[in-house]
Structure 1
């Protein structure tokens, strides 16, 4: 059995930065530290931080006044900063710089009278946060098919941004249609370069192997996109940890490819590789 690991697998720059910032705060602070939502979409990694003392909450109202609160790499709405300020909460802002750039674009164009369009999943925390920088007025499009039910006003000015982990092919399909349907539109391709490289590397590797293993959280958007890309080419196993792998099933394949989402720690990837080597 031969194992090939994707060139781009595991923590991206934004997640690595956020996790390091959060760990440093836990190491050096004597005060309680709260995280607004799971730090990343990987429950095994989050558990390690909670064992260290991190408290995960779902809303600012659950954080006591004057305490420390981490804003995760996905970013949040403008209103969250205001609510935290009202409670004198100290913010540890680990928002990915690439996501922060989208907030600035959206806020600027919204204030200039543009209708914002976000290409992404309306239920994803990153998109919820982006929408919060234009008074939650954005049109959110996840698939080309959705556009059939959306009425666009050609007399308006539009500004288009994208969730950083958006599938490249879907993004192109949507922007191609928007460019035909709208007269005045500013396109901002805000898909993270690491996302592009990760998706392209996964696609390339899938063509070289007999099956793929994609490691990452079940709620991780970028991980699920990798799963969808790989399974179009070869049999694909989507897992969070090595415990979900079946040694007998994997024995059917001569060459196995491995990739991982941006929220997957190296130690989980190493565990999977060790398990495959042990078969």
Structure 2
């Protein structure tokens, strides 16, 4: 049995920077999860970081950590009123998407955000567009909306979107809109990770995608690898790795990749299980 690990697996640069910054602090508040990984969040809680859902849960003058997913401007405004100290770990790619969304709305363009409307990153981008953006997750979902669009339309994407989905929606819009501005705000690391995972999936007998169930980019990796026809399983931790192993016994080549919010120690634990078993 051979194990192959795809390039660009695990923490991306933005998540790594956010996690390292968070590790430096104790007894502070974190608005939502730093990243979509339960094990990482639990580790931060153990060192004294408190996870909150609303900024009003913090007393004036305390310290607030903003996650890699970013937040709408209303959070910064409220933090200023409460005299909070801000530790901002928003990913630079997310900040770029926020800025471009804001600029296009200010120029009078109808904003389309390609992504998951329930994802914190998308909610943040929507906030920077003064709530004037329209969120669509696929061409099929957006067809009715697209038929009612005005002449000026601007497009950004959730940074972890698949290139395939993004291109499909943009191609459809190009045939419908006169004045279309497209900003491909998919993170460069995301594109490399997805390509490396697909390439590896085509060469192995089975793919394991390591990442939390609440991680959008991990879910996307699973979908993309499964599309190659190679048996694909998403697992979160060591326990699930042990449970999946019986299905791997007759496989010669096992491919592994991991989402951007999956830490190295989780990848190592699962690789060790397969190697030893």
After TM superposition, the score normalised by the length of structure 2 is 0.96
1:11-55, CA deviations, whole angstroms, 9 ceiling, x for partnerless residues? 0011011111111233xxxxx300000111111111111100000
Q: 1:147 Cα deviation (Å)?
A: 2.1
- RMSD, aligned CA: 1.1
Matched, 1:242 2:250: no
Q: Secondary structure at the match of 2:175?
A: helix
> Counterpart of 1:68?
63
CA shift, 1:153, in A, is: 4.8
Give runs of aligned pairs for residues 98-247 of structure 1, distance below 5 A. Answer: 98-153=93-148, 155-233=150-228, 234-245=230-241, 246-247=244-245
1:29 equivalent in structure 2:
none
Match of 1:35 in 2: 30
Partner SS, residue 213 of structure 1: strand
* Contact 1:210–1:254 (CA under 8 A) maintained in structure 2: yes
Q: Deviation of residue 129 (structure 1)?
A: 0.4
Using the TM superposition, give the Cα deviation of residue 149 of structure 1 relative to its aligned residue in structure 2, in angstroms: 1.8
CA distance in 2, matches of 1:2, 1:94: 38
Pairwise CA distance, 1:235 = 0.8
Partner residue, 1:89:
84
Q: How many residues align?
A: 274
2:265 maps to 267
Q: Give the structure-1-normalised TM-score.
A: 0.96
Could you tell me which runs of 5 or more consecutive residues in structure 2 were left unpaired when the two chains were aligned. Answer: none
Q: Relative to structure 1, is the Cα distance of residues 87 and 177 closer, same or farther in structure 2, using a 3 angstrom cutoff?
A: same
Q: Deviation of residue 239 (structure 1)?
A: 0.6
Pick which of 233-242 and 216-225 moved more.
Answer: 233-242
Question: Does structure 2 retain, via aligned residues, the 8 Å contact 1:18–1:94?
Answer: yes
C-alpha separation in 2, matches of 1:113 and 1:83: 27
After superposing the two structures, state which structure 1 stretch, 101-110 or 123-132, moved more.
101-110
Compared CA separation, residues 154 and 138, structure 1 to 2 (3 A): closer
User: In structure 2, how many angstroms separate the alpha carbons of the residues matched to 1:151 and 1:193?
Assistant: 27
3-state SS of 1:25 partner: coil
Distance across 1 between alignment mates of 2:208 and 2:93: 28
The question of whether the paired residues in 2 share the 8 Å contact of 1:212 and 1:256 is answered with: yes
For the residue of structure 2 that corresponds to 1:64, the secondary structure is coil
CA distance in structure 1 between the partners assigned to 2:97 and 2:28 by the alignment:
27
Shift of 1:247: 2.5
Unaligned runs of 5+ in 1: 27-31
